[in-house]
Structure 1
Amino acid sequence: MKPVLAAIPTDQAVTTASPAITCVVISTVETSTILDSAAEVSVVTTKLLKQLSARGAWIAQQALTGTAGVTGIGDKPVPVKSKVKLDLRFSTPGGPLILQNVIYWVTDQPLPPGGGDYGTIGVQLR
């Protein structure tokens, strides 16, 4: 599975030009996102979920019954332990674009370079 969206925390200095756009998760945490429409899954780190919770966002997680891994993000499968639904808001020249109930797989591992410390990878836009 190929990732479609990568996020970089806005407090992280970026030294090269980036095609990233700003995204706000659950009207709480702002991050930069890079869209790639070829992915089949979305992945979010527990670091982002902890930051959302610390800012008062309510997040319902559904635990997986077994072990699972997502491929296409870096060289090795990324283990996932649960899934959540998140709302994303993008500012566009035509007004806000809001994606609701986007399903994300949750991992404890940091994302590979370009994925950010607590960002996301892979939101399917079909």
Structure 2
Amino acid sequence: MSKWFSEEHEWVEMLNDDIVRIGITDYAQQELGDIVFVESPEVDDSITSNESMGTIESVKTVSDIYAPLSGIVVRVNEKLEDEPELVNTNSEDEGWLIEMKITDREELNDLLDEETYKKHIEDEGD
């Protein structure tokens, strides 16, 4: 399955026509350090693209998680309540954050493909 990425270091994976899974990238979890707490939105919450949809707390800092797309939360990764470290060990699979029904497919056009995202990380490091 293909993934898209936001400039704020979230990834998006299409699960079916209008349901996506969202998490933070491996790059983001490395920058944050050891994750100790994840605050996610609730099921049925409405989320707006580019607005905060929760926070991630590491031993170093607390960071907002920005919604890469607009939609309605349909599922939250409940494993993260007891195992927030899954974001560190497997951020782009088991450490996913939420699943949501997207309300504007056009927003997918604003996301980056993997190659463009990798270039974005390199440029950010310069």
TM-score (norm 2): 0.28
Higher helix share: 2
The structure with higher relative contact order (CA 8 Å, sep 6+) is 1
Structure with greater strand share of residues: 1
